[in-house]
Structure formats: C-alpha cells, structure tokens
Amino acid sequence: MMKKVYWQKLFILTFLWLLSEVFLGFLGLDDLADYGEFVFEPKAIVLTI
C-alpha cells in the first residue's frame, strides 16, 4: 500500500530548500555545508593512476 503524497507540503519544502540553497550560496556558507557533508561521509579508497 502506497502512502498518500501531500503535494502542497512537498512543493513548499522543496521551495524552501531551494531558497535556502540560493541564500546560503550568496553568503558563501553553502560551501561550508558541502565540506561538512564530505568530512562526515564514510571514507572510500580512490586509486588514481
């Protein structure tokens, strides 16, 4: 059984997320959040040749 999707709530949350991304991008804080995501990700070994 599928859950009912509340489109209005989904639209509002998506709009707020996009608005905050743009706002933090102008402040230069979005890069800081991206760096935090990178630091706390599980480590992967990458082989470069």
pLDDT tens track of the chain, all 49 residues? 556 778 888 899 899 988 888 888 888 777 766 676 667 776 666 667 7
Closest CA to 8 of 22, 19, 16: 16
- Whole-number pLDDT of residue 47: 66
- The tally of domains found in the chain comes to 1
- Whole-number pLDDT of residue 23: 87
Residue 31 domain boundaries: 1-49
Would you list the DSSP string of the chain?
A: -PPPP-HHHHHHHHHHHHHHHHHHHHHT-HHHHHHHHHHHSPP------
- Whole-number pLDDT of residue 15: 93
pTM of this prediction exceeds 0.95? no
